[in-house]
Amino acid sequence: MDSIENRGDRIHIPEIDEYLAKGLMALNGEVMELSISRNGEDGFVTVSYKKSNDSHLTEEGIDFELSSCECSSPELTDVKDYLGKAVHTSSALELFDFVLGHFSSLDCVVQFTGNAWKIKMMESSAE
């Protein structure tokens, strides 16, 4: 991940938080555009990223946590409710594992702010 643009890296989904962190470091903390898709093998995804034209995600976000002591907004009952909005999460793994259970690929804008990921997901046009 030492280039400004990475295409088609195959990674194990539990490594996604570290992968995103390395990508943002390679981009000097700039916002990144990310494409992620299930690889066909259990637990693997194909990921590509590049620097985004957006300087930051400005929308207020919704919280996403799957742990038993934290809950996402109760009014969000459909996975599609998370698309097109900035989603704040401490774990990109939990978010992508959940959403990729419903979609085979996503296009995203990713930023790390404070102590949370801010991820805006859209259904991939390549689907």
Q: CB under 8 Å to 124, separation ≥6 — which residues?
A: 35, 37, 103, 104, 105, 106, 107
Q: What is the pLDDT along the chain (127 residues), one digit of tens a residue?
A: 334 577 789 999 999 999 999 999 999 988 999 999 998 878 899 999 999 987 777 668 888 876 544 455 545 557 888 899 999 999 999 999 999 989 999 999 999 988 899 999 999 876 4
Q: What is the pTM of this model?
A: 0.83
Tokens of 126: 């390549």
